[in-house]
Structure 1
Amino acid sequence: MATHLDLEEQEQLDALKHFWNRWGNLITWVLIAVLGAYAAWNGWQYWQRRQAGLAAVMYDEIARAANAGDMARVERALADMKDKYGGTTYAAYAGLEGAKVLADKGKLAEAKTALAGVVDKASDDGLRAVARLRLASLQTGEKAYDEALKTLSASFPAQYTALAADRRGDVLLLQGKRSEAATEFGKAYQGLTADSGEYRRLVGMKLNALGIDPDAGAKAGATS
Protein backbone atom coordinates (compact mmCIF):
# COMPACT_ATOMS: atom_id res chain seq x y z
CA MET A 1 0.00 0.00 0.00
CA ALA A 2 2.79 2.38 0.97
CA THR A 3 4.62 1.65 -2.26
CA HIS A 4 1.46 2.30 -4.25
CA LEU A 5 0.97 5.66 -2.54
CA ASP A 6 4.62 6.53 -3.07
CA LEU A 7 4.28 5.83 -6.77
CA GLU A 8 1.18 8.05 -7.01
CA GLU A 9 2.94 10.85 -5.15
CA GLN A 10 5.95 10.50 -7.42
CA GLU A 11 3.74 10.70 -10.50
CA GLN A 12 2.09 13.83 -9.14
CA LEU A 13 5.46 15.37 -8.40
CA ASP A 14 6.71 14.50 -11.88
CA ALA A 15 3.58 16.04 -13.43
CA LEU A 16 4.04 19.19 -11.33
CA LYS A 17 7.70 19.45 -12.34
CA HIS A 18 6.79 19.03 -15.98
CA PHE A 19 4.11 21.68 -15.72
CA TRP A 20 6.44 24.08 -13.95
CA ASN A 21 9.28 23.48 -16.38
CA ARG A 22 6.95 24.35 -19.23
CA TRP A 23 4.95 27.22 -17.73
CA GLY A 24 6.93 28.36 -14.71
CA ASN A 25 8.72 31.29 -16.35
CA LEU A 26 5.53 32.58 -17.92
CA ILE A 27 3.62 32.37 -14.63
CA THR A 28 6.45 34.15 -12.83
CA TRP A 29 6.52 37.03 -15.31
CA VAL A 30 2.73 37.36 -15.26
CA LEU A 31 2.78 37.56 -11.47
CA ILE A 32 5.56 40.14 -11.59
CA ALA A 33 3.59 42.21 -14.10
CA VAL A 34 0.37 42.02 -12.08
CA LEU A 35 2.04 42.83 -8.78
CA GLY A 36 4.05 45.60 -10.44
CA ALA A 37 0.93 47.15 -11.94
CA TYR A 38 -0.83 46.95 -8.57
CA ALA A 39 2.12 48.64 -6.85
CA ALA A 40 2.27 51.31 -9.55
CA TRP A 41 -1.47 51.97 -9.23
CA ASN A 42 -1.19 52.35 -5.47
CA GLY A 43 1.80 54.63 -5.94
CA TRP A 44 -0.10 56.75 -8.46
CA GLN A 45 -3.10 57.04 -6.14
CA TYR A 46 -0.84 58.09 -3.28
CA TRP A 47 0.90 60.67 -5.49
CA GLN A 48 -2.45 62.05 -6.65
CA ARG A 49 -3.71 62.38 -3.08
CA ARG A 50 -0.48 64.05 -2.04
CA GLN A 51 -0.60 66.49 -4.96
CA ALA A 52 -4.21 67.36 -4.18
CA GLY A 53 -3.36 67.95 -0.53
CA LEU A 54 -0.43 70.23 -1.35
CA ALA A 55 -2.51 72.07 -3.95
CA ALA A 56 -5.24 72.63 -1.35
CA VAL A 57 -2.69 74.22 0.99
CA MET A 58 -1.48 76.53 -1.77
CA TYR A 59 -5.07 77.39 -2.73
CA ASP A 60 -5.63 78.56 0.85
CA GLU A 61 -2.48 80.66 0.57
CA ILE A 62 -3.82 82.35 -2.58
CA ALA A 63 -7.15 83.02 -0.86
CA ARG A 64 -5.41 84.60 2.13
CA ALA A 65 -3.20 86.73 -0.11
CA ALA A 66 -6.24 87.87 -2.11
CA ASN A 67 -8.16 88.80 1.03
CA ALA A 68 -5.14 90.75 2.23
CA GLY A 69 -4.88 92.55 -1.10
CA ASP A 70 -1.29 91.35 -1.54
CA MET A 71 -1.17 91.07 -5.32
CA ALA A 72 2.53 90.22 -5.46
CA ARG A 73 1.89 87.23 -3.19
CA VAL A 74 -1.12 86.21 -5.28
CA GLU A 75 0.97 86.25 -8.45
CA ARG A 76 3.80 84.24 -6.89
CA ALA A 77 1.41 81.65 -5.49
CA LEU A 78 -0.42 81.34 -8.82
CA ALA A 79 2.86 80.81 -10.66
CA ASP A 80 3.90 78.12 -8.17
CA MET A 81 0.49 76.48 -8.37
CA LYS A 82 0.59 76.40 -12.17
CA ASP A 83 4.14 74.97 -12.28
CA LYS A 84 3.73 72.33 -9.56
CA TYR A 85 0.05 71.41 -9.49
CA GLY A 86 -1.30 72.76 -12.79
CA GLY A 87 -3.44 69.71 -13.55
CA THR A 88 -5.30 69.67 -10.22
CA THR A 89 -8.81 71.01 -9.70
CA TYR A 90 -7.49 73.29 -6.96
CA ALA A 91 -5.13 74.91 -9.47
CA ALA A 92 -8.03 75.63 -11.83
CA TYR A 93 -10.14 77.20 -9.08
CA ALA A 94 -7.13 79.16 -7.88
CA GLY A 95 -6.54 80.46 -11.41
CA LEU A 96 -10.15 81.59 -11.76
CA GLU A 97 -10.22 83.25 -8.34
CA GLY A 98 -6.80 84.80 -8.75
CA ALA A 99 -7.70 86.18 -12.18
CA LYS A 100 -10.82 87.84 -10.74
CA VAL A 101 -8.84 89.52 -7.97
CA LEU A 102 -6.11 90.64 -10.37
CA ALA A 103 -8.64 92.04 -12.85
CA ASP A 104 -10.42 93.93 -10.07
CA LYS A 105 -7.08 95.52 -9.20
CA GLY A 106 -6.50 96.54 -12.81
CA LYS A 107 -3.77 93.96 -13.45
CA LEU A 108 -5.36 92.72 -16.67
CA ALA A 109 -2.26 91.17 -18.24
CA GLU A 110 -1.67 89.07 -15.13
CA ALA A 111 -5.35 88.12 -14.97
CA LYS A 112 -5.27 86.94 -18.58
CA THR A 113 -2.14 84.89 -17.87
CA ALA A 114 -3.90 83.21 -14.94
CA LEU A 115 -6.94 82.37 -17.09
CA ALA A 116 -4.76 81.10 -19.93
CA GLY A 117 -3.12 78.77 -17.42
CA VAL A 118 -6.51 77.29 -16.55
CA VAL A 119 -7.35 76.88 -20.23
CA ASP A 120 -4.05 75.11 -20.90
CA LYS A 121 -3.79 72.84 -17.87
CA ALA A 122 -7.16 72.27 -16.19
CA SER A 123 -8.38 68.69 -16.44
CA ASP A 124 -12.07 69.66 -16.16
CA ASP A 125 -13.82 70.75 -19.39
CA GLY A 126 -16.27 72.95 -17.50
CA LEU A 127 -13.55 74.89 -15.70
CA ARG A 128 -11.69 75.38 -18.99
CA ALA A 129 -14.90 76.71 -20.53
CA VAL A 130 -15.41 79.20 -17.69
CA ALA A 131 -11.81 80.36 -18.06
CA ARG A 132 -12.26 80.88 -21.81
CA LEU A 133 -15.43 82.90 -21.31
CA ARG A 134 -13.77 85.13 -18.72
CA LEU A 135 -10.64 85.50 -20.83
CA ALA A 136 -12.75 86.55 -23.82
CA SER A 137 -14.51 89.14 -21.64
CA LEU A 138 -11.17 90.68 -20.66
CA GLN A 139 -9.99 90.68 -24.28
CA THR A 140 -13.24 92.31 -25.35
CA GLY A 141 -12.85 94.96 -22.66
CA GLU A 142 -9.44 95.78 -24.13
CA LYS A 143 -10.98 95.92 -27.63
CA ALA A 144 -8.87 92.94 -28.70
CA TYR A 145 -11.86 91.64 -30.65
CA ASP A 146 -10.02 89.21 -32.92
CA GLU A 147 -8.30 87.63 -29.92
CA ALA A 148 -11.64 87.33 -28.13
CA LEU A 149 -13.23 85.61 -31.13
CA LYS A 150 -10.28 83.23 -31.34
CA THR A 151 -10.72 82.36 -27.67
CA LEU A 152 -14.43 81.79 -28.22
CA SER A 153 -13.87 79.65 -31.32
CA ALA A 154 -12.72 76.71 -29.19
CA SER A 155 -14.96 73.72 -28.57
CA PHE A 156 -17.22 74.19 -25.53
CA PRO A 157 -19.13 71.59 -23.51
CA ALA A 158 -22.83 71.48 -24.39
CA GLN A 159 -23.91 73.45 -21.33
CA TYR A 160 -21.65 76.35 -22.33
CA THR A 161 -22.27 76.57 -26.09
CA ALA A 162 -25.11 79.09 -25.75
CA LEU A 163 -23.03 81.32 -23.49
CA ALA A 164 -20.13 81.21 -25.95
CA ALA A 165 -22.47 82.08 -28.83
CA ASP A 166 -23.84 85.07 -26.90
CA ARG A 167 -20.31 86.32 -26.20
CA ARG A 168 -19.37 85.92 -29.86
CA GLY A 169 -22.47 87.93 -30.77
CA ASP A 170 -21.39 90.72 -28.43
CA VAL A 171 -17.92 90.86 -29.97
CA LEU A 172 -19.21 90.79 -33.53
CA LEU A 173 -21.68 93.56 -32.76
CA LEU A 174 -18.87 95.70 -31.35
CA GLN A 175 -17.07 95.13 -34.65
CA GLY A 176 -20.10 96.39 -36.51
CA LYS A 177 -20.91 92.97 -37.97
CA ARG A 178 -24.63 93.02 -37.28
CA SER A 179 -25.62 90.09 -39.47
CA GLU A 180 -23.02 87.76 -37.97
CA ALA A 181 -23.89 88.98 -34.48
CA ALA A 182 -27.57 88.22 -35.07
CA THR A 183 -26.70 84.69 -36.13
CA GLU A 184 -24.73 84.11 -32.92
CA PHE A 185 -27.45 85.65 -30.73
CA GLY A 186 -29.92 83.37 -32.48
CA LYS A 187 -27.83 80.32 -31.61
CA ALA A 188 -27.62 81.48 -28.02
CA TYR A 189 -31.37 82.10 -27.76
CA GLN A 190 -32.24 78.72 -29.22
CA GLY A 191 -29.69 77.01 -27.00
CA LEU A 192 -31.01 78.54 -23.78
CA THR A 193 -33.96 76.90 -22.08
CA ALA A 194 -36.93 78.62 -20.48
CA ASP A 195 -35.25 77.93 -17.14
CA SER A 196 -32.56 80.43 -18.13
CA GLY A 197 -35.05 83.15 -17.26
CA GLU A 198 -33.71 86.69 -17.47
CA TYR A 199 -30.65 85.71 -19.42
CA ARG A 200 -32.70 84.25 -22.26
CA ARG A 201 -34.89 87.35 -22.28
CA LEU A 202 -31.78 89.52 -22.46
CA VAL A 203 -30.55 87.65 -25.53
CA GLY A 204 -34.04 88.02 -27.00
CA MET A 205 -33.81 91.78 -26.47
CA LYS A 206 -30.52 91.85 -28.36
CA LEU A 207 -32.23 90.14 -31.28
CA ASN A 208 -35.18 92.52 -31.10
CA ALA A 209 -32.74 95.45 -31.25
CA LEU A 210 -31.42 93.97 -34.48
CA GLY A 211 -34.92 93.72 -35.95
CA ILE A 212 -35.38 90.00 -35.38
CA ASP A 213 -38.20 88.25 -33.60
CA PRO A 214 -36.37 85.62 -31.53
CA ASP A 215 -39.40 83.38 -31.20
CA ALA A 216 -39.79 83.27 -34.98
CA GLY A 217 -36.28 81.82 -35.28
CA ALA A 218 -33.08 83.80 -35.39
CA LYS A 219 -31.89 84.48 -38.88
CA ALA A 220 -28.80 86.11 -40.24
CA GLY A 221 -29.25 89.44 -41.90
CA ALA A 222 -30.04 92.11 -39.32
CA THR A 223 -31.40 95.42 -40.45
CA SER A 224 -28.80 98.06 -40.94
Structure 2
Amino acid sequence: MAYDHGEQEQLDALKAWWKQYGNLVTWLLIAVLSAFSAWKAWGIYQSKQAAQASLLFESVQNAIQEKDQAKVLRAVTDIQEKYSGTDYASMASLLAAKTDFDANDLKAAKVQLMWVGEHGKSDEFKALAKIRLAGILLDEKSYDDALKLVSGDFSPQLVSAAADRKGDILVAQNKIDDARAAFQLAIDKSTDKSPIRQLIQLKLDAIGGAPTPAPAANK
Protein backbone atom coordinates (compact mmCIF):
# COMPACT_ATOMS: atom_id res chain seq x y z
CA MET A 1 0.00 0.00 0.00
CA ALA A 2 1.49 3.35 -1.04
CA TYR A 3 1.29 6.49 1.12
CA ASP A 4 1.81 10.15 0.29
CA HIS A 5 4.57 12.08 2.04
CA GLY A 6 2.37 13.35 4.85
CA GLU A 7 0.91 9.94 5.65
CA GLN A 8 4.35 8.32 5.64
CA GLU A 9 5.67 10.93 8.08
CA GLN A 10 2.73 10.21 10.38
CA LEU A 11 3.38 6.45 10.22
CA ASP A 12 7.07 6.97 10.95
CA ALA A 13 6.18 9.12 13.97
CA LEU A 14 3.77 6.45 15.24
CA LYS A 15 6.38 3.72 14.88
CA ALA A 16 8.89 5.80 16.83
CA TRP A 17 6.31 6.42 19.56
CA TRP A 18 5.46 2.72 19.83
CA LYS A 19 9.13 1.79 19.91
CA GLN A 20 9.53 4.01 22.98
CA TYR A 21 6.32 3.23 24.83
CA GLY A 22 4.83 0.05 23.35
CA ASN A 23 6.94 -2.25 25.53
CA LEU A 24 5.12 -0.87 28.56
CA VAL A 25 2.20 -3.14 27.68
CA THR A 26 3.92 -6.50 28.06
CA TRP A 27 6.14 -5.42 30.95
CA LEU A 28 3.02 -4.31 32.81
CA LEU A 29 1.46 -7.69 32.17
CA ILE A 30 4.60 -9.39 33.45
CA ALA A 31 4.43 -7.39 36.67
CA VAL A 32 0.74 -8.13 37.24
CA LEU A 33 0.98 -11.80 36.37
CA SER A 34 4.15 -12.27 38.39
CA ALA A 35 2.62 -10.67 41.47
CA PHE A 36 -0.49 -12.84 41.19
CA SER A 37 1.49 -16.02 40.59
CA ALA A 38 3.79 -15.30 43.51
CA TRP A 39 0.81 -14.90 45.81
CA LYS A 40 -0.86 -18.00 44.37
CA ALA A 41 2.31 -20.09 44.61
CA TRP A 42 2.87 -19.09 48.22
CA GLY A 43 -0.72 -19.83 49.12
CA ILE A 44 -0.85 -23.25 47.45
CA TYR A 45 2.64 -24.62 47.90
CA GLN A 46 4.12 -24.76 51.37
CA SER A 47 6.83 -27.22 50.44
CA LYS A 48 10.50 -26.68 51.18
CA GLN A 49 11.28 -26.40 47.47
CA ALA A 50 8.80 -23.57 46.93
CA ALA A 51 10.09 -21.72 49.97
CA GLN A 52 13.69 -21.99 48.79
CA ALA A 53 12.72 -20.94 45.28
CA SER A 54 10.96 -17.89 46.70
CA LEU A 55 14.15 -16.90 48.53
CA LEU A 56 16.15 -17.14 45.31
CA PHE A 57 13.48 -15.10 43.53
CA GLU A 58 13.87 -12.46 46.22
CA SER A 59 17.62 -12.51 45.53
CA VAL A 60 16.90 -11.84 41.86
CA GLN A 61 14.69 -8.89 42.79
CA ASN A 62 17.33 -7.48 45.12
CA ALA A 63 20.04 -7.83 42.47
CA ILE A 64 17.83 -6.01 39.98
CA GLN A 65 17.30 -3.16 42.44
CA GLU A 66 21.06 -3.00 42.95
CA LYS A 67 21.51 -2.99 39.15
CA ASP A 68 24.06 -5.78 39.46
CA GLN A 69 23.71 -7.64 36.16
CA ALA A 70 26.25 -10.33 37.07
CA LYS A 71 24.44 -11.07 40.33
CA VAL A 72 21.11 -11.19 38.50
CA LEU A 73 22.46 -13.74 36.06
CA ARG A 74 23.91 -15.93 38.82
CA ALA A 75 20.67 -15.93 40.79
CA VAL A 76 18.50 -16.59 37.74
CA THR A 77 20.74 -19.42 36.56
CA ASP A 78 20.61 -20.91 40.04
CA ILE A 79 16.83 -20.86 40.22
CA GLN A 80 16.51 -22.23 36.69
CA GLU A 81 18.80 -25.16 37.46
CA LYS A 82 17.42 -26.03 40.89
CA TYR A 83 13.74 -25.05 40.74
CA SER A 84 12.72 -25.05 37.09
CA GLY A 85 9.43 -26.70 38.06
CA THR A 86 8.23 -23.64 40.00
CA ASP A 87 6.61 -20.45 38.77
CA TYR A 88 9.40 -18.54 40.49
CA ALA A 89 11.84 -19.72 37.82
CA SER A 90 9.66 -18.29 35.06
CA MET A 91 9.11 -15.04 36.94
CA ALA A 92 12.82 -14.63 37.61
CA SER A 93 13.65 -15.27 33.96
CA LEU A 94 11.08 -12.73 32.78
CA LEU A 95 12.43 -10.12 35.17
CA ALA A 96 15.99 -10.87 34.05
CA ALA A 97 14.88 -10.46 30.45
CA LYS A 98 13.55 -7.02 31.30
CA THR A 99 16.81 -5.93 32.92
CA ASP A 100 18.73 -7.23 29.90
CA PHE A 101 16.39 -5.35 27.57
CA ASP A 102 16.75 -2.15 29.58
CA ALA A 103 20.53 -2.58 29.35
CA ASN A 104 20.16 -2.98 25.55
CA ASP A 105 21.45 -6.55 25.74
CA LEU A 106 18.84 -8.03 23.42
CA LYS A 107 20.73 -11.28 22.95
CA ALA A 108 20.68 -12.02 26.68
CA ALA A 109 17.03 -10.98 26.91
CA LYS A 110 16.11 -13.41 24.15
CA VAL A 111 17.95 -16.24 25.93
CA GLN A 112 15.88 -15.70 29.07
CA LEU A 113 12.61 -15.48 27.17
CA MET A 114 13.36 -18.61 25.17
CA TRP A 115 14.11 -20.44 28.42
CA VAL A 116 10.64 -19.59 29.69
CA GLY A 117 9.13 -20.65 26.37
CA GLU A 118 10.82 -24.04 26.63
CA HIS A 119 10.83 -24.72 30.38
CA GLY A 120 8.14 -22.54 31.90
CA LYS A 121 5.74 -24.40 34.18
CA SER A 122 2.56 -22.59 33.17
CA ASP A 123 1.17 -21.99 29.68
CA GLU A 124 0.51 -18.37 30.64
CA PHE A 125 4.17 -17.66 31.33
CA LYS A 126 5.22 -19.46 28.14
CA ALA A 127 2.75 -17.39 26.12
CA LEU A 128 3.83 -14.16 27.79
CA ALA A 129 7.45 -14.94 26.94
CA LYS A 130 6.46 -15.46 23.29
CA ILE A 131 4.67 -12.12 23.19
CA ARG A 132 7.66 -10.36 24.74
CA LEU A 133 10.09 -12.11 22.41
CA ALA A 134 7.97 -10.97 19.48
CA GLY A 135 8.44 -7.42 20.73
CA ILE A 136 12.21 -7.78 20.64
CA LEU A 137 12.11 -9.30 17.16
CA LEU A 138 9.93 -6.35 16.14
CA ASP A 139 12.65 -3.97 17.38
CA GLU A 140 15.16 -5.98 15.34
CA LYS A 141 12.88 -5.71 12.27
CA SER A 142 12.48 -9.51 12.09
CA TYR A 143 8.82 -8.99 11.31
CA ASP A 144 7.94 -12.40 9.90
CA ASP A 145 9.48 -14.28 12.83
CA ALA A 146 7.78 -11.92 15.28
CA LEU A 147 4.42 -12.41 13.60
CA LYS A 148 4.69 -16.19 13.88
CA LEU A 149 5.05 -15.94 17.65
CA VAL A 150 1.77 -14.08 18.09
CA SER A 151 -0.30 -15.83 15.45
CA GLY A 152 -1.16 -18.98 17.39
CA ASP A 153 -3.79 -19.67 20.03
CA PHE A 154 -3.57 -17.90 23.37
CA SER A 155 -5.42 -18.26 26.65
CA PRO A 156 -8.29 -15.82 27.23
CA GLN A 157 -6.10 -13.82 29.62
CA LEU A 158 -3.49 -13.15 26.93
CA VAL A 159 -5.48 -12.94 23.69
CA SER A 160 -5.64 -9.17 24.00
CA ALA A 161 -1.89 -8.78 24.60
CA ALA A 162 -1.05 -11.06 21.67
CA ALA A 163 -3.39 -9.19 19.35
CA ASP A 164 -1.94 -5.87 20.49
CA ARG A 165 1.59 -7.05 19.73
CA LYS A 166 0.41 -8.39 16.37
CA GLY A 167 -0.99 -4.96 15.59
CA ASP A 168 2.37 -3.34 16.35
CA ILE A 169 4.11 -5.72 13.96
CA LEU A 170 1.57 -5.15 11.21
CA VAL A 171 1.94 -1.39 11.53
CA ALA A 172 5.70 -1.79 11.12
CA GLN A 173 4.96 -3.72 7.92
CA ASN A 174 2.61 -0.95 6.74
CA LYS A 175 -0.30 -3.44 6.75
CA ILE A 176 -2.62 -0.88 8.24
CA ASP A 177 -5.97 -2.59 7.57
CA ASP A 178 -4.73 -5.79 9.21
CA ALA A 179 -3.30 -3.76 12.09
CA ARG A 180 -6.67 -2.10 12.69
CA ALA A 181 -8.30 -5.52 12.88
CA ALA A 182 -5.66 -6.74 15.35
CA PHE A 183 -5.99 -3.69 17.61
CA GLN A 184 -9.78 -3.96 17.54
CA LEU A 185 -9.53 -7.60 18.58
CA ALA A 186 -7.19 -6.59 21.40
CA ILE A 187 -9.77 -4.09 22.63
CA ASP A 188 -12.68 -6.51 22.24
CA LYS A 189 -10.84 -9.17 24.27
CA SER A 190 -9.76 -6.80 27.03
CA THR A 191 -11.81 -5.87 30.07
CA ASP A 192 -13.04 -2.39 30.94
CA LYS A 193 -10.60 -2.37 33.86
CA SER A 194 -7.60 -3.43 31.77
CA PRO A 195 -4.68 -1.04 32.37
CA ILE A 196 -3.63 -1.28 28.71
CA ARG A 197 -7.05 -0.88 27.05
CA GLN A 198 -6.70 2.90 26.71
CA LEU A 199 -3.22 2.60 25.19
CA ILE A 200 -4.49 0.11 22.59
CA GLN A 201 -7.38 2.44 21.78
CA LEU A 202 -4.90 5.28 21.23
CA LYS A 203 -2.98 3.10 18.77
CA LEU A 204 -6.16 2.22 16.92
CA ASP A 205 -7.28 5.84 16.75
CA ALA A 206 -3.85 6.87 15.50
CA ILE A 207 -4.17 4.69 12.40
CA GLY A 208 -7.72 5.69 11.55
CA GLY A 209 -9.99 3.96 14.02
CA ALA A 210 -11.90 0.71 13.71
CA PRO A 211 -11.38 -1.42 10.58
CA THR A 212 -13.83 -0.93 7.75
CA PRO A 213 -16.40 -3.76 7.88
CA ALA A 214 -16.58 -6.07 4.89
CA PRO A 215 -19.52 -5.38 2.58
CA ALA A 216 -22.55 -7.56 3.23
CA ALA A 217 -23.06 -10.37 0.75
CA ASN A 218 -25.96 -10.00 -1.62
CA LYS A 219 -28.88 -12.14 -0.67
Give the TM-score normalised by the residue count of structure 1: 0.66
- Segments of structure 1 that go 5 or more residues without pairing to the other structure are 1-47
Are residues 65 and 174 of structure 1, via their aligned partners in 2, closer, same or farther at CA, if it must alter by over 3 Å?
A: same
Alignment correspondent of 2:50? 52
User: How much identity, in percent, do the aligned residues show?
Assistant: 38
- The structure where helix makes up a greater share of residues is 1
Q: Distance in 2 between matches of 1:220 and 1:77?
A: 53
| 65, 68, 87: which one aligns with 2:66 | 68
**Match status 1:194 vs 2:199:** no
> Which structure has the larger Rg over C-alpha atoms?
1
My pick for the range that moved more, 82-91 or 61-70, is: 61-70
Q: Classify the secondary structure of the residue corresponding to 1:157.
A: coil
In 2, the alpha carbon distance for the partners of 1:179 and 1:128 equals: 29
In structure 1, the partner of 2:147 is: 149
Equivalent-residue separation in structure 1 for 2:102 and 2:139 (angstroms) = 13
**1:203 corresponds to:** 200
**Number of aligned residues:** 171
Say if 1:188 and 1:203, in contact at 8 Å, map to a contact too: yes
Structure 1 residues 102-158: Cα deviation after superposition (integer angstroms, max 9, x where no partner): 211122111111122122222223322332222222221222222221221232110
User: In 1, distance between residues paired with 2:108 and 2:185?
Assistant: 32
Whole-angstrom distance in 1 between the partners of 2:129 and 2:168: 18
> What is the CA distance between 1:162 and its match in structure 2?
1.5
CA distance in 2, matches of 1:209, 1:65: 39
Contact 1:179 1:220 in 2 (8 A): no
* Cα separation, partners in 2 of 1:59 and 1:189, compared to 1, 3 Å: closer
Tell me the residue number matched to 2:176.
Answer: 178
1:60, distance to aligned residue in structure 2 (A): 2.4
Gaps of 5+ in 2: 1-45
Higher relative contact order (CA 8 A, sep 6+): 2
Superposed CA RMSD: 2.7
1:51-102 deviation line (CA, Å, top 9, x unaligned): 2233223222222322222212212222232222112111111111111112
Q: Does residue 158 of structure 2 align to residue 160 of structure 1?
A: yes
Paired position in structure 2 for 1:89? 87
What residue number does 1:114 align with?
Answer: 112
Offset of 1:209 from its aligned partner? Answer: 4.0
Code of the aligned partner of 1:161: V
TM superposition outliers: structure 1 runs of 4+ over 6 Å: none
- Do 1:89 and 1:124's aligned partners in 2 also have CA atoms closer than 8 Å? yes
- CA distance in 2: counterparts of 1:149 and 1:127, whole angstroms: 18
CA distance in 2, matches of 1:123, 1:219: 40
